[in-house]
Amino acid sequence: MMEFLEMMFEPLQEVFAKFNAFLPNLLAMLVILAVGIVFARMLRKLLLKFLTTVGFDSWSDRMGFTTLLRKGDLWMKPAAVLASLVFWLLIILTLMVGLSALDVDAIDELVGQFFNYLPRMFSAAVILLLGYVVASFISRAVLITAANGGHHYAKLFAEAVRALLMLMILAMVMEQLQIATNIVLAAFSILFGGIVIALAIAFGVGGIGTARRIIEKEFADDSPDKEPDDIEHL
């Protein structure tokens, strides 16, 4: 009878012993999560105050970031969006650190992969941000130049330049994030190359007459058997 009872309780004791060993890890994770959430909330509040004080919202309005948010149907203040972004990033980090405190091999591996991927996410965000600013700047410059040059399609032209640049920047971002790299590269090469070839053909065919006139004029001017005129040029 005693043997039978021992057989029954032994696994339970083992589970209890394992749980006892696991409990400090679990508590550590819960403490890390609680502290992380409190810290993230405090940081969000402080960041929001700081961004409001330095006029981040007005700067975003002028730089076009606010409109970018609105295009995504996000109708919060830019400072609140950035603060929320930082908050959720911290929550994810806290969660990862908390999970690693559990000391489970599979989770550790996952957390390791996440932290290895973090620099890529950061550089992708920087490329996107800088790329958007540069694309907006170039597009606006094209708009002003084309409008001042009296071109009717100035806005269309500027938007096309912006779209092409954004296409290039998105391809760079995807490549940085290593999302379907080969497909993105192939799609980008085909699309971008196609557009450039289309433009080259359009300009080439359209400009045949002009090119011929320029070349003929050049050759006519440089012709050695051209008779010199009597007028003395200054």
Partner 1 sequence: MSDFYQTGIITTLHQLGKPSLERLESELLGFSKTRPIALVLPALYSEFEGPAMPGIVQELSKVKYLSEVVLALDQASEDDFKRVREFMAPIQADVKIIHNKGKRIGEVYETLKRNGLDAGPQGKGRSAWMAYGYVLARGKSDVIALHDCDIVTYSRELLARLCYPIANPNLNYAFCKGYYSRVTSKMNGRVTRLLVTPLVRSLQQLTGQHGFLDFLDSFRYSLAGEFSMSADMARINRIPSDWGLEVGSLAEVYRNYSPRRVCQVDIATTYEHKHQQLSADDAEKGLMKMAVDICKSIFRTLASDGAVFSEGLFRSLIVTYLRQAEDTLMKYEADAMINGLAFDRHEEAKAVEAFTRAIAMAAQMFVENPMGNPLIPNWNRVTAAIPDIFEMLRLAVEEDNK
Find out whether 88 and 109 touch, Cβ atoms under 8 Å. Answer: no
85 vs 190, beta carbon nearer partner 1: 85
Region from 26-34, 66-74, 96-104, 144-152 binding partner 1, contact rule CB under 8 A: 66-74
Length of the chain: 234
* Torsion on CA atoms 146, 196, 127, 96, rounded to nearest 10: 140
Residue with tokens 């929320």: 84
Told to check if 174 binds partner 1 by CB under 8 A, we report: no
Told to check if 67 binds partner 1 by CB under 8 A, we report: yes
Contacts with partner 1 by CB under 8 A: the residue count is: 13
Report the amino acid identity of residue 221: D
Q: What is the C-alpha separation between 33 and 35, in angstroms, rounded? A: 6
Told to check if 166 binds partner 1 by CB under 8 A, we report: no
100 vs 139, beta carbon nearer partner 1: 139
Q: What is the C-alpha separation between 215 and 211, in angstroms, rounded? A: 6
Give 93: exposed, middle or buried? Use CB within 10 Å, 0-12, 13-18, 19+.
middle
Told to check if 219 binds partner 1 by CB under 8 A, we report: no
Told to check if 145 binds partner 1 by CB under 8 A, we report: no
Helix axes 181-206, 154-177, angle to 10 degrees: 160
Told to check if 139 binds partner 1 by CB under 8 A, we report: no
75 vs 219, beta carbon nearer partner 1: 75
Told to check if 152 binds partner 1 by CB under 8 A, we report: no
Stretch 23-62 residues interacting with partner 1 (CB under 8 A): 57-58, 61-62
Region from 42-50, 63-71, 166-174, 193-201 binding partner 1, contact rule CB under 8 A: 63-71
Q: What is the C-alpha separation between 162 and 182, in angstroms, rounded? A: 24
Told to check if 71 binds partner 1 by CB under 8 A, we report: yes
Q: What is the C-alpha separation between 170 and 165, in angstroms, rounded? A: 9
Of positions 25, 33, 77, 103, contacts partner 1 by CB under 8 A: 77
77 vs 157, beta carbon nearer partner 1: 77
Binding site for partner 1 (CB under 8 A): 57-58, 61-62, 64, 66-67, 70-71, 73, 75-77
